């Protein structure tokens, strides 16, 4: 087992990365969605020649620009933290993880940043069609940036397309296509970007509703609500669909996270999907982890089994199955995985010792074994379990994951209803009369940000204690630095990011109050 782990360093490093990621994600989803809304609005302007649409586009473009600039700043800091705080992780998988991030920086970000200048400053300097093309390229570039970042993140949850090189003690990519087409990456990209579209749509409808409440700029508000309502409704339905496919994938590659999302402790063959539930401490324990009962629950019978296996009698393993094992269902216990991981680690240690003393014959034999499919499939895939002292350590915080997931899903269905009402009231020309709807839309803006952040809490906290699923726990990924240094930068970043957020909100509020230029 690993020795001399500074848990204070681990916790402060996790806290700093979480802080940066949470602030960064306050800016990114609006960029993803609003860029396409701008492209739709400008397309209508170019096709119709109606100057009203140009004014509408330029107004929302200003809000996009404010958000875009701060999002870039926080994103750069986030990437640097892999080298400063997580150097062991970067060494272990840098050849794989770094590739999509490099592509993001060279290709997608270059495309996005090149044309963003034309989009902002090219009005009346280039042709309408060239300016429109620039706006579309910014939207495509922004979402391509998200693609490569999410490919890297998805690989951490389902490491594929790699081989371990004993000579360098590093994982190396052997199939770029497998990394890009990783099922988790496909699901994560489609679900994340469409959730960004939903956030931007709610944002536009909420701000537009404020204009209608104040009885000003009503043409801009109504047209914006129509575009955002249609775009948001389509996107929210896609979010629901991609969320379903993502859940199926998680059930296969991260079963403990999936069980935590439903607070499912006992495996079932007719598992129902919980719609609303309240957890309570049962008084039981799995090791040192509390077991939670459902104090109150509303569920759809058998739906969870159908979602994950396609059959109403399909078996969905619970947390107890996944920790203690279930031989009848072909589920290994964590203890068995720990033994296999420890064996893999010992073989790698033996190779390292042979290398140090120059025993080339032993090195050759061990290298052949390490590179073999039997070792890879039956031992090395459990390498990370060798760092655990107890099986229960693989269980994340069930209440946090359960409530985050269900609040997020509930808000998702609320936004579908919001978009339907927005379109309906616009068609009936009764938006101004339904002031309750306008206030609801306005106060939905913070709710959609909450839903967006909860999604990432489920994703990242749900896979704890792993930084790379089954291969590397978080506690062994940190850099060899002092906890005090990380603590100092944590508070510096907290102050900096909070100041940036306050500055952005004040500028955005001022811009909204000013309204479009007449």
Query: Considering only 36-50, 82-96, 364-378, which range has the smallest mean pLDDT?
Result: 82-96
Residue 491 phi, psi dihedral angles, 5° rounding? -70, -35
Q: What is the pLDDT of residue 394?
A: 92
- Residue 128 near residue 176 (C-beta atoms within 8 A): no
- pLDDT per residue as tens digits for the range 294-308: 888 888 888 888 878
Q: Which helix (H) or strand (E) holds 263?
A: none
Q: What is the pLDDT of residue 363?
A: 85
Q: What's the pTM value of the predicted model, to 2 decimals?
A: 0.89
Q: Which helix (H) or strand (E) holds 164?
A: strand 162-165
CA distance 499 to 492: 11
Residue 472 phi, psi dihedral angles, 5° rounding? -150, 115
Q: What is the pLDDT of residue 307?
A: 79
Is the confidence at residue 370, as pLDDT, over 90? Answer: no
Token pair, residue 328, equals: 């009848």
Average pLDDT over residues 505-515: 87
Residue with the bigger pLDDT between 272 and 194: it is 194
Half-sphere exposure of 361 (CA within 13 A, CB side): 0
Is the confidence at residue 148, as pLDDT, over 90? Answer: no
Q: Which of 508, 437, 409 is nearest to 205 (CA)?
A: 437
Q: Where are the domains of the chain?
A: 10-258+393-514
- Return the ∠ at Cα 267 (arms to 266 and 272), rounded to 5°: 95
Average pLDDT over residues 304-317: 83
- Residue 64 near residue 31 (C-beta atoms within 8 A): yes
- pLDDT per residue as tens digits for the range 345-356: 898 888 888 888
- pLDDT per residue as tens digits for the range 414-462: 999 999 999 999 998 888 889 999 999 999 999 999 999 999 899 989 9
- Residue 99 near residue 90 (C-beta atoms within 8 A): no
CA distance 352 to 368: 14
Average pLDDT over residues 20-34: 87
- Residue 77 near residue 22 (C-beta atoms within 8 A): no
Average pLDDT over residues 276-292: 88
Average pLDDT, rounded, for the chain: 87
Give the confidence band of 375 by pLDDT, cuts at 50, 70, 90. confident
Q: What is the pLDDT of residue 4?
A: 62
- Residue 135 near residue 45 (C-beta atoms within 8 A): no
Q: Which of 21, 7, 26 is nearest to 504 (CA)?
A: 26
- Residue 515 near residue 217 (C-beta atoms within 8 A): yes
Residue 359: how many other CB atoms lie within 10 Å: 15
Give the confidence band of 1 by pLDDT, cuts at 50, 70, 90. very low
- Residue 199 near residue 31 (C-beta atoms within 8 A): no
Q: Which of 276, 279, 277, 273 is nearest to 248 (CA)?
A: 273
Per cent of the chain over pLDDT 70 is 98
Local structure of 6: helix, strand or coil: coil
SS3 readout for 401-457:
HHHHHHHHHHHHHHHHHHHHHHHHHHHCCCCCCCHHHHHHHHHHHHHHHHHHHHHHH
Average pLDDT over residues 248-270: 89
- Residue 136 near residue 169 (C-beta atoms within 8 A): no
Q: What is the pLDDT of residue 267?
A: 86
Average pLDDT over residues 380-387: 90
- Residue 197 near residue 32 (C-beta atoms within 8 A): yes
Local structure of 156: helix, strand or coil: helix
């Amino acid at each position: 087992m690993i020795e001399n782990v500074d848990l204070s360093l681990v916790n402060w490093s996790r806290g700093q990365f979480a802080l940066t990621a949470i602030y960064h994600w306050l800016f990114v989803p609006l960029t993803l969605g609003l860029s396409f809304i701008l492209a739709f609005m400008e397309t209508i302007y170019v096709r119709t020649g109606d100057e009203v649409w140009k004014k509408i586009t330029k107004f929302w473009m200003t809000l996009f620009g404010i958000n875009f600039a701060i999002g870039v700043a926080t994103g750069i800091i986030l990437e640097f933290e892999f080298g400063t705080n997580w150097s062991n992780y970067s060494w272990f998988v840098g050849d794989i993880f770094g590739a999509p991030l490099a592509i993001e920086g060279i290709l997608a970000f270059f495309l996005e940043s090149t044309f963003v200048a034309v989009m902002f400053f090219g009005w009346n300097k280039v042709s309408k069609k060239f300016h429109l093309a620039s706006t579309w390229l910014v939207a495509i570039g922004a979402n391509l940036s998200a693609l490569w970042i999410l490919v890297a993140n998805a690989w951490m949850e389902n490491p594929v397309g790699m081989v371990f090189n004993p000579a360098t003690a590093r994982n190396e990519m052997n199939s770029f296509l497998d990394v890009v087409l990783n099922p988790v990456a496909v699901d994560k990209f489609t679900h994340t970007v469409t959730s960004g579209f939903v956030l931007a749509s709610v944002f536009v409808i909420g701000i537009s509703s404020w204009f209608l409440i104040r009885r000003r700029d009503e043409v801009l508000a109504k047209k914006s609500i129509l575009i955002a309502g249609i775009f948001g409704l389509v996107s929210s339905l896609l979010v629901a669909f991609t969320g379903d496919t993502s859940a199926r994938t998680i059930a296969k590659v991260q079963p403990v996270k999936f069980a935590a999302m439903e607070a499912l402790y006992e495996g079932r063959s007719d598992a129902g999907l919980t719609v609303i539930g309240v957890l309570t401490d049962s008084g039981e324990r799995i090791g040192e982890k509390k077991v939670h009962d459902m104090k109150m629950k509303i569920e759809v019978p058998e739906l969870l089994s159908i979602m994950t296996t396609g059959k109403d009698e399909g078996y969905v393993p619970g947390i107890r199955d996944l920790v203690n094992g279930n031989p009848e269902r072909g589920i290994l216990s964590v203890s068995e995985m720990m033994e296999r991981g420890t064996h893999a680690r010992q073989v790698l240690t033996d190779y390292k010792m042979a290398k140090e003393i120059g025993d080339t014959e032993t090195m050759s034999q061990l290298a052949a074994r390490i590179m073999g499919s039997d070792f890879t499939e039956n031992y090395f895939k459990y390498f990370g379990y060798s760092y655990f002292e107890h099986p229960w350590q693989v269980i994340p915080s069930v209440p946090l994951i359960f409530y985050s997931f269900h609040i997020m899903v509930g808000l998702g269905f609320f936004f579908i209803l919001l978009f339907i009402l927005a379109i309906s009231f616009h068609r009936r020309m009764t938006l101004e009369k339904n002031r309750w709807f306008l206030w609801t839309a306005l106060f939905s803006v913070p709710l959609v940000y909450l839903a967006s952040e909860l999604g990432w809490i489920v994703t990242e906290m749900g896979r704890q204690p792993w930084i790379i699923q089954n291969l590397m726990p978080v506690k062994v990924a940190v850099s060899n630095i002092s906890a005090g240094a990380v603590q100092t930068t944590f508070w510096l970043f907290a102050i900096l990011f909070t100041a940036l957020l306050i500055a952005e909100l004040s500028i955005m509020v001022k811009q909204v109050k000013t309204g479009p230029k007449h």
